[in-house]
Structure 1
Amino acid sequence: MVTLPAKARVVIIGGGISGCSVAYHLAKLGWTDIVLLERKQLTSGTTWHAAGLVGQLRASQNMTRLAKYSADLYTRLEAETGLATGFRQCGSITAALTLERKEEILRQASLARAFGVDVNELSPTEVKTLYPHLNIDGVTAGVHLPLDGQADPGNIGLALAKGARNNGALIAEHVKVTQVTQQNGRVTGVDWVQGAEQGHIAADLVVNCGGMWGRDLAAQNGVTLPLHACEHFYIVTEGIPGLTQMPVLRVPDECAYYKEDAGKMMLGAFEPKAKPWGMNGISEDFCFDQLPEDVDHFEPILEMSINRMPMLADAGIHTFFNGPESFTPDDRYYLGEAPELRGYWVAAGYNSIGIASSGGAGMALAQWMNDGEAPFDLWEVDIRRAQPFQKNRRYLKERVSETLGLLYADHFPYRQMATSRGIRRSALHDHLKARGAVFGEVAGWERANWFANDGQEREYRYSWKRQNWFDNQRAEHMALRTGVGLLDMTSFGKIRVDGTDALAFLQHICANQIDVAVGRLVYTQMLNARGGIESDLTVTRLGETSFLLVVPGASLQRDLAWLRRHADDRHVTILDVTAGEAVLPVMGPKSRDLLRLVSPDDFSNEAHPFGTAREIEIGMGLVRAHRVTYVGELGWELYVSTDQAAHVFETLVEAGTEVGLKLCGLHAMDSCRIEKAYRHFGHDITDEDHVLEAGLGFAVKTAKGDFLGRDAVLRKRETGLARRMVQFRLTDPEPLLFHNEPILRDGAIVGYLSSGNYGHQLGGAIGMGYVPCAYGGESPDEMMASRYGIMVAGQVFDATASLTPMYDPKSERIKA
């Protein structure tokens, strides 16, 4: 029995591969007083029964960076610790059975090249050559990643634990954390029990690596950690004579993966509708446990696999395995400090890629804890993306029945979740639905993405080509460009900052000049110490000590946490008022005509210039009208108290018949904003992207005095830009861009698109992405003198490049 200390710098809860990785990397950084507590035995929850696939390519550069780090770590871990990890770089093959899947995997291959991952595209015959046991009937293409591999998950966990111990960490098994203690909004330590003993460890920091136990543990402290266990099935055959080492094989169209291991074959499944497990908690004695077999559930996968891998027909089944793993509402794991409680960190919810992810995730979290800021953009997996409502058990149970299967489903652009819908709706939801709205979901909000015509089906038909709403988007896009459109953007996050120190606080945390007249609206960023963009927002001064911050709905919790973290002892209140107001953008060259029909107020440039907000009358209601735009046209965002929203909407729609008003969705807003080269947080701008390299220097006012990130801005002005944000238009009007397509400069890959959409006004697909500047001092003219192309599914298309917006570069239309 290990003697536990009374105090530690950090206590890590959970001894799976995730917790062991965090302990290992903190110890490698020189931390002492590290304690890891495991309720039963190391790796006894999910890690021990994981399939151990280590793939390197992920959906973004930084997730790929973490997966590649994991592979590199597992390669050297055995030499460092003396424990075998079983890691073999046997490669992996993904085989496509449809033309749509072929397009997807060829796009993934292009992505791999942009991210520096070795990749080979394969014909069906070449797939057969590399994997002779495979029946290639119906195979349309393959992709081979030669440096992918497989490993022994349990041994990796134990090797990480040994490495952590060798560097001074204390790891104790059979110690259950019963509670994380807190005081004044901070973690103070943990209470523990070990057999008949119990005690407390005072700690500055706690890391929840509790896996499928993590949600309930977090809930004790009011921390949102939305995850839920699902049953995960695989079989292992008896030994198959002559079976030698093979690449890992994925056939996602049949929901299956295959792994050769010691002369046996493992067949695993990510079935379309999964079986959630542990709804009412997990038994106290759960340790290296299995769940009951469900042959009927697995049988459809097995039938397809016997056709696809004929040798399975004669192979006996050695093991039919069913074990629980935790899944999240969006199939991405959680890292970072919980916004609800300082010092409470999380690394959990790995969605069946925990072995491939935990090495890199542990490194990134340790660096984040050590430095006080993430080592690079981790927004995809940031715990702050979780919405408080998502801890609801019924919501999670329903959602994870879908997310497990989505790992192998077609990853079509604009794919919408089918489960757990309708949770957050604006006051106008039913009005929009009655008029043909087809909804998507972001942060739980139902948002009208496009409007179906009379008689048109109101659902998505997914494809990598033009989807069934493409013409609807064009009509809405052109209405915004040439007439007037009405949107519902109630999902915007709205934050009130009030108090005697409100101005000083916002001046410190925002890069633009916030000391403006009451009624002025300021576009700004909140920066970190590196000059990276933590938030992209508008600030409207409502009074001498009152301000309204408007942020993207998806980043609201992140932005609230950032504000509260930096408020310190200032006399300010920070309040989420999102649900209190609907937001109705009225946009387009005829927007002024429409507003004049419904309001007695003056909408001239003199009375209501761009960048101002004031109260107006519409119908019999009162509205705060912000003259601002995210589509690049004359327009106003109308902020209406929720109780009056329906009346104002009906008034606008009724009057709109005179000016050709068209209801528009988020797809049209996005295609308009990309024509105007407006940046999108989370894609084009992140905490890793310097505000000057993002082309947003116009919103930074260093002359106003000190503010967070100012020194980094001044340094960048001295040293010059390392890269610039560039807008691209494909000269061929046929291909489509989404994001992550490689950018070629004079024939060489130099980056990838951060976002893409179709520019219906400009007549081609539009993308945005960063291009490095040669030698750091390259002029804009020199950059634009090059020849640019964009790679789409392995084919390069010529592109026109511009550092200024291709649409209305002088912004004359928005000030008309």
Structure 2
Amino acid sequence: METTDSVPNQADTVIVGAGIVGCNLAYQLTQLGREDVVVVDQGPMPTTGGSSTHAPGIMFQTAEPKELSQFADYSRKLYSELEGADGQQAYNEVGGIEVARSEERMAFLQRRVEHANAWGIEDPQLLSPEEVTDHLPLVDESRILGGYYSPTDGQVSGVVACDALAREAMERGAEFVPHTRTEDVEVEDASVRAVVTENGTIDCEEVVVATNIWARQLGEKLDVHLPVTPVEHQYTMTESLSEMEDSAVDITDHPLFENYENVSGEKAKRLLVGPDRPILRDQDNAMYYRTHGDSYGIGSYNHEPIVPDPKELGGNDPDGEQGSIHEFTDVHMDTATHPDRPHKAPRRASDELVPATEGAELEHKYNGMFAESPNGLPVMGPVRKCEGLWTAAAIWVTHAGGAMKAMAEWMENGVPRLEDGPIDVSQCNVNRFDEHEGSWDFARDIGAEEYRIVYNIMHPKWVWEDMQRDIRRTPMYHTHREHDAEMWASAGWEEPQWFESNADLLEEYGDRIPDRDGWEGVYWSPLEGAEALHVRNKVGLHDMTSFNKMEVVGSEAGEFVQRLCTNDMDLDVGDVRYTLMCNEGGGVRADITVTRTDEGRYLLLTTGREVGNNHVAWVRHQSPDSVVVNDVTSSLAAMVCTGPDARNVLSKVTDVDLSDDAFPFFTSQQFFVKNVPVTALRVSYAGELGWELYTPSEYGERLWEHVLDAGAEYDIRPYGNGALDSLRIEKGFRLWGEDLHTEHTPFEAGLGWAVDMDTEFIGKAALQAAREETAAAADGGERSDGPRASSDEQRASDGGARADDSVYTDQQVACLTLDDGDATILDDRPVFAPGGDESLGYVHSAEYGYTAGACVAYTYLPSEYAEPGTDVEVLFEGERYAATVREEPLVA
């Protein structure tokens, strides 16, 4: 690997950090045609001394978050194509096995199979204990109940991969500069101007912070508070084991050995040796294993979280001391310190599972560091506070290839993509975070919690229970407490999921609410169903303060809103319109309602939930200097009064005529509710008669009380997010981030009616090209079916649940109901043709529809399967559930 000794004066793109992330990004950018790319690192190359140097490189591809599995699948394919410095393939495809020591873990492994099917991981299998030991004969099969086997899992050495990636990037023009610490980034007018290193300044307009555990320090200098937390976990390698003597390897003749040894010392003789049998994970004890020749490597997360202060992290010492490792703490291997596993020390658990290691000396041992984020996903993308500043942190070897392919496409072409199409990275976007998440107090505690649960069995609806709660309160918080609300945290907000004060509703509605006694019943209450039915039959009040709200103001606000939005946005003051924002590739960036509140003033509302800040960042990035974009989420309290009696309730507290003629659907008016000023929108995400009410936050609690008091004679009830999710899904309303995101176009999502191709908007060219391509295919006889059409009146009433009849697509959104009216499933499970083995798609969102009397699921299917009446099956918790594609909306 021929690096340069001098720092260039100028570059188009500077990547800070030459670990597995930086090298992957340089490889991808140069593959897309960029030549002026410079990579700088404080350590030597390719063995920089960061996390990529000490990481054992195990690659388990299957994860519950789809993004991680997609990243890992791409990484595996990429690493398989790389040639190491020794001329051998860089990736060791030895397979991976996760074992279960409990019935709960066996159920978890069944979910592994289902997620692998959903995400397209090849050939996932459940194994018996005997089948596990066929692959891993040193495992004690009496200690396990079975295993999950992924044949294409494996291992890649971070150093070998970094070297291979960097060599190819350099062949395409990239420069790599070792032994060069980055000290600062010069910024002028909120834009990057240069990277300042200890050996000189590089003028540039784009810089990528790919420094992983050191990312927070550099960000702080730019007033960018990245919630990236360094955490320690243990890794050790046994002495040579007699049971593995046939696997002994001398690696000292490897071309990278001397470089590796200079940084890592004697352990390089083990770390550089690839495994010769499947990698192993014992998640019940938070441990993993791989072979190093005739030695077993043992990784342990089975100890209390160890979170070093980023300010105290050293760099890589010129004499060879690695900044990314700390001294091994024997107490964490020999004593049970993990808060969730207090009864068995890690060493004992290891010796039970792999008896050959019992009594063996641990020759090489260290505490290695990696980076965690608040949701355990990467922190990547353009930083909204600074033009030209990108970040790529909290990314493991397993995911780095795919993550950096997506980010290179993002940087070069504006849309994150993998080889087979766009990928939604909203949950990875650096702009998803709220202000409080940038504090070290928050990042430290949540980083530690993410470490604690990394191998725990976590329910998809689980929320933080004690740690860093009660941060953001809506004005109605204390009233919710008085009604015994079950509060869940979302983006720091404390939000009601259901209200125990509504328990009496079960007497009226209980017979329409099926029990849930399995995985689907965890974090669920029948009160969610009772509240939903009450809204359908009477009236309810819902706190929606946490929904993201933006105000767009300026003389050119109208032109800007039109460019942002897919619909015709020629609005009069008081008009409300549902529309979409697309990215440059035509993927749905957000769905929003836009209200023109005054001349040159618009209110944009979206349901981004924990990733809603991405929408704010996007709108601000697109805005011209003549327009101001204000995030008014916190400054406006918001609620919706909805249900058949909503008009009766609100008429008691306002003199405004609320009739259909005076206050039509999708219009807005400003008036007083008693003594509280409100902006009222005649819309309802629940799909019933209703008004959304917005008021300055200091009035919010009083407005809530006014409406509740007025509705007493109509039996008004507060209702939570659980009921809202049920109400919206049976009405066919999309939820961005679940059944609507950037991987699908408006036409695929059944929202073609919200696209006006006669207007100019971001993403129009891509949509037009896709439309022409699919129409040409149809004309060529490749398609004979077309999407379902609906009248304008239907489209208005169902909120956009149907497709434009002039558009052909290869896949379409499909509304399913389970044939068993008492069954319920959860998201992210594969959908099959009856009896089929290859998944057609996966469940994007699912909730029981209490008015529809069935569990409702939304998915995207090949067009021939998306027709109403088509039979399909959903695999959930090991059982295939018969389902039928339905005409939507299910509830008129």
TM-score scaled by structure 2?
0.84
User: Which letter does structure 1 place at the counterpart of 2:151?
Assistant: P
Aligned residue runs from structure 1 range 182-331, under 5 A: 182-194=187-199, 199-243=200-244, 245-271=276-302, 273-284=304-315, 287-289=321-323, 290-298=325-333, 299-300=335-336, 301-331=346-376
The DSSP-based 3-state class of the residue aligned with 1:518 is coil
5+ residue gaps, structure 1: 809-816
Q: Which is further off, 524-533 or 463-472?
A: 463-472
Distance 2:26 2:397 in 1: 16
Aligned residue runs from structure 1 range 18-417, under 5 A: 18-42=21-45, 43-78=48-83, 82=86, 87-117=91-121, 118-137=123-142, 139-194=144-199, 199-243=200-244, 245-271=276-302, 273-284=304-315, 287-289=321-323, 290-298=325-333, 299-300=335-336, 301-350=346-395, 354-375=396-417, 376=422, 377-417=424-464
The DSSP-based 3-state class of the residue aligned with 1:598 is coil
After superposition, the Cα gap between the structure-2 partners of 1:543 and 1:70, relative to the gap in structure 1 and judged at 3 Å, is same
User: Which letter does structure 1 place at the counterpart of 2:880?
Assistant: V
User: Which letter does structure 1 place at the counterpart of 2:153?
Assistant: D
Distance 2:68 2:375 in 1: 15
The DSSP-based 3-state class of the residue aligned with 1:213 is helix
User: Which letter does structure 2 place at the counterpart of 1:733?
Assistant: G
Q: Which is further off, 742-751 or 446-455?
A: 446-455
Q: Which is further off, 203-212 or 736-745?
A: 736-745
After superposition, the Cα gap between the structure-2 partners of 1:154 and 1:513, relative to the gap in structure 1 and judged at 3 Å, is same
Distance 1:138 1:191 in 2: 55
After superposition, the Cα gap between the structure-2 partners of 1:295 and 1:659, relative to the gap in structure 1 and judged at 3 Å, is farther
Matched-pair contact (CA < 8 Å) for 1:85–1:155: no
- 5, 8, 14: which one pairs with 1:5? 8
| Aligned counterpart, 1:465 | 520
Distance 1:421 1:462 in 2: 28
The DSSP-based 3-state class of the residue aligned with 2:201 is strand
CA displacement, residues 352-386 of structure 1 (integer Å, 9 cap, x when unaligned) = xx111112222222222221322222223222212
Shift of 1:468: 5.5
| Aligned counterpart, 2:511 | none
CA displacement, residues 105-133 of structure 1 (integer Å, 9 cap, x when unaligned) = 21221221233322112234433443333
Matched-pair contact (CA < 8 Å) for 2:127–2:148: yes
Distance 1:513 1:389 in 2: 37
Distance 2:678 2:12 in 1: 52
| Aligned counterpart, 1:451 | 499
User: Which letter does structure 1 place at the counterpart of 2:573?
Assistant: V
Shift of 1:236: 1.9
After superposition, the Cα gap between the structure-2 partners of 1:140 and 1:690, relative to the gap in structure 1 and judged at 3 Å, is same
User: Which letter does structure 2 place at the counterpart of 1:219?
Assistant: E
Distance 1:576 1:511 in 2: 21
After superposition, the Cα gap between the structure-2 partners of 1:203 and 1:401, relative to the gap in structure 1 and judged at 3 Å, is same
The DSSP-based 3-state class of the residue aligned with 1:188 is strand
Distance 1:523 1:96 in 2: 48
After superposition, the Cα gap between the structure-2 partners of 1:128 and 1:53, relative to the gap in structure 1 and judged at 3 Å, is same
User: Which letter does structure 2 place at the counterpart of 1:250?
Assistant: R
Aligned residue runs from structure 1 range 565-580, under 5 A: 565-569=621-625, 571-580=626-635
Distance 1:677 1:140 in 2: 42
CA displacement, residues 500-534 of structure 1 (integer Å, 9 cap, x when unaligned) = 10001111111112222211111110112332111
Shift of 1:4: 1.9
Matched-pair contact (CA < 8 Å) for 1:745–1:786: no
Matched-pair contact (CA < 8 Å) for 1:237–1:318: yes
| Aligned counterpart, 2:513 | none
Shift of 1:248: 1.5
Shift of 1:84: 5.5
Shift of 1:254: 1.7
The DSSP-based 3-state class of the residue aligned with 2:314 is coil
Q: Check if 1:525 corresponds to 2:529.
A: no
- The number of aligned residues is 788
- 843, 853, 871: which one pairs with 1:787? 871
CA displacement, residues 670-690 of structure 1 (integer Å, 9 cap, x when unaligned) = 121111121111121212211
Q: Check if 1:421 corresponds to 2:466.
A: no
Distance 2:30 2:628 in 1: 39
User: Which letter does structure 1 place at the counterpart of 2:480?
Assistant: L
Distance 1:789 1:687 in 2: 26
| Aligned counterpart, 2:594 | 539
Matched-pair contact (CA < 8 Å) for 2:7–2:201: no
Distance 2:712 2:302 in 1: 49
Shift of 1:771: 0.8
Shift of 1:46: 1.3
Distance 2:602 2:815 in 1: 33
Distance 1:631 1:270 in 2: 44
Distance 1:396 1:600 in 2: 49
Q: What RMSD in Å do the two structures reach over aligned CA positions?
A: 2.4
The DSSP-based 3-state class of the residue aligned with 1:408 is coil
Distance 1:280 1:178 in 2: 14
Shift of 1:48: 1.1
Distance 1:141 1:486 in 2: 49
User: Which letter does structure 2 place at the counterpart of 1:291?
Assistant: H
Matched-pair contact (CA < 8 Å) for 2:66–2:119: yes
Q: Which is further off, 104-113 or 483-492?
A: 104-113
Distance 2:214 2:518 in 1: 38
Distance 1:203 1:462 in 2: 58
Distance 1:710 1:29 in 2: 24
Q: Check if 1:796 corresponds to 2:874.
A: no
User: Which letter does structure 1 place at the counterpart of 2:543?
Assistant: D
CA displacement, residues 726-765 of structure 1 (integer Å, 9 cap, x when unaligned) = 0111112344322221112344321111111222222232
User: Which letter does structure 1 place at the counterpart of 2:853?
Assistant: G
User: Which letter does structure 1 place at the counterpart of 2:829?
Assistant: E
Distance 2:277 2:822 in 1: 39
Aligned residue runs from structure 1 range 722-737, under 5 A: 722-737=810-825
After superposition, the Cα gap between the structure-2 partners of 1:128 and 1:557, relative to the gap in structure 1 and judged at 3 Å, is same
The DSSP-based 3-state class of the residue aligned with 1:276 is coil
5+ residue gaps, structure 2: 248-275, 337-345, 505-515, 776-807
| Aligned counterpart, 1:514 | 569
Matched-pair contact (CA < 8 Å) for 1:224–1:386: no
| Aligned counterpart, 1:609 | 664
Matched-pair contact (CA < 8 Å) for 1:726–1:771: yes
| Aligned counterpart, 1:681 | 736
Shift of 1:400: 0.8
Percent identity of equivalent pairs: 30
Matched-pair contact (CA < 8 Å) for 1:581–1:641: yes
- 856, 861, 883: which one pairs with 1:766? 856
Distance 1:487 1:16 in 2: 48
User: Which letter does structure 1 place at the counterpart of 2:621?
Assistant: R
Shift of 1:567: 2.1
TM-score scaled by structure 1?
0.92
Matched-pair contact (CA < 8 Å) for 1:85–1:152: no
Distance 2:277 2:766 in 1: 50
Matched-pair contact (CA < 8 Å) for 2:288–2:299: yes
